[in-house]
Amino acid sequence: MREVVFDTETTGIQVSEGHRMVEIGCVELINRVESGREFHAYFNPERSMPPEAQAVHGLSEAFLSGQRLFRDCCEELLDFIEDSPLVAHNAAFDFAFLNFELGEAGRLHIPRSRMVDTLALSRSKHPGAKHSLDAMCTRYGVDRSHRIKHGALLDAQLLAQCYVELTGGRQIGLSLADAPAAAEAARQDAIVYDITRPIRPARPHAASAEELERHARFLAQITDPVWTMGTAAPAAG
224 is in an annotated binding site: no
* Catalytic one of 19, 89, 131, 150: 150
The CA-atom distances, in angstroms, between 148 and each of 38, 44, 89, 125, 151 are 21, 23, 18, 28, 9
134 is in an annotated binding site: no
7 is in an annotated binding site: yes
- Nearest C-alpha neighbor of 59 from the set 105, 95, 12, 4: 12
57 is in an annotated binding site: yes
List, in sequence order, every residue forming a beta bridge with 88; answer none if it has no partner: 117
Residue pair 3/191 in contact by the 8 Å Cβ criterion: no
Composition of the chain by helix, strand, coil, percent to 5? 45, 15, 40
> Does residue 215 carry a catalytic annotation?
no
* CA–CA gap between residue 212 and residue 216 (Å, rounded): 6
Which residues belong to the annotated binding site for a divalent metal cation?
7, 9, 155
Which residues belong to the annotated binding site for substrate?
7, 9, 52, 57, 155
Which residues belong to the annotated binding site?
7, 9, 52, 57, 155
User: Which positions are annotated as active-site residues?
Assistant: 150
